[in-house]
Chain A
Amino acid sequence: AQKVTQAQTEISVVEKEDVTLDCVYETRDTTYYLFWYKQPPSGELVFLIRRNSFDEQNEISGRYSWNFQKSTSSFNFTITASQVVDSAVYFCAPSLIPGRRALTFGSGTRLQVQP
């Protein structure tokens, strides 16, 4: 069965440290999309990035960067120089089932950034 694994349940870092959140998924499909969402303590789900499986270039947006490796089915997320405001639960959410627009959410990684 297709599934997504975020093995890190919780990570705690000190402000200004870099941190990488891992995401590994299983899919039989060759064409799919990958998403990351952030859920801050307030509870809303905030979209961060959407990538397709054809594009393996790393993406950088400010302090955020993403490393997609199709060969290892991984889509990892790095926050550089973390800040307290980055404290949240981060979800990896690939579209794993062919023909379905729905996403399969990982269990999330809770990131605590200490001042």
Chain B
Amino acid sequence: DAGVIQSPRHEVTEMGQEVTLRCKPISGHNSLFWYRQTMMRGLELLIYFNNNVPIDDSGMPEDRFSAKMPNASFSTLKIQPSEPRDSAVYFCASSLGDRGLPDTQYFGPGTRLTVL
């Protein structure tokens, strides 16, 4: 079975532009997570979904960030407008999430975002 798929793998954009990151979770997984990794702040959770519903978005930095999960096999993280401080590696992860417990999260390869 394919793992978590993220696209694009690399994104370079200019400040002010809209950026959309995409994620396809592992088939059958009910929970999906978006993390951001930077040197300064390490790995931090942005938002997570369970059964396509956002459960906790307290990590979303500000209104410029939004995430959606229109169906069980697809999620997007959008930044509009982007700023240089958004430069980071964005990881998507999924887990079974069917027992109300912290199941093992399997991570995608990440999207390296550079905002100039």
Which residues of A does B touch, CB under 8 Å?
A: 32-33, 35, 37, 43-47, 50, 91, 95, 100-108
Q: Are A50 and B89 in contact (CB under 8 A)?
A: no
A2 to B76, CA, bound (A): 29
How many CB-defined contacts (below 8 Å) exist between A and B? 56
A43-B109, A44-B107, A100-B56 given; A105·B102 CB < 8 A: no
Task: Check if A102 sits within 8 Å of B104, measured CB to CB.
Answer: no
Instruction: Specify which chain A residues have a CB less than 8 angstroms from the CB of B42 in the assembled complex.
Output: 105-108
CB distance from A67 to the nearest CB of B (A): 20
Q: B110 to A101, Cβ gap below 8 A?
A: no
Q: How many residues of B contact A (CB 8 A)?
A: 26
New contact pairs (4) apart from A44-B109, A47-B104, A50-B103, CB-CB < 8 Å: A45-B110, A101-B95, A102-B102, A108-B43
Cα A104 to Cα B43 in complex, Å, equals 8
Please, which residues of chain B bring their CB within 8 A of the CB of A46? 107
Contact of A33 among B45, B93, B101, B110 (CB under 8 A): B101
Q: Which residue of A lies closest to B41 (CB)?
A: A107
Given contacts A33-B101, A45-B91, A47-B106, contact A101 B45 (CB under 8 A): no
B binding-site residues for A, Cβ under 8 Å: 31, 33, 35, 42-45, 48, 50, 55-56, 89, 91, 93, 95, 97, 100-107, 109-110
Where chain B touches its partner, the secondary structure class is strand
Cβ-closest chain A residue relative to B105:
A103
User: Separation in Å of the B44 CB from the closest CB of chain A?
Assistant: 8
Measured CB to CB, the closest approach of chain B to A43, in angstroms, equals: 6
A35 to B107, CA, bound (A): 13
Query: In the complex, A51 Cα to B37 Cα: how many Å?
Result: 24
Complex contacts, B43 vs chain A, CB 8 Å: 91, 105, 108
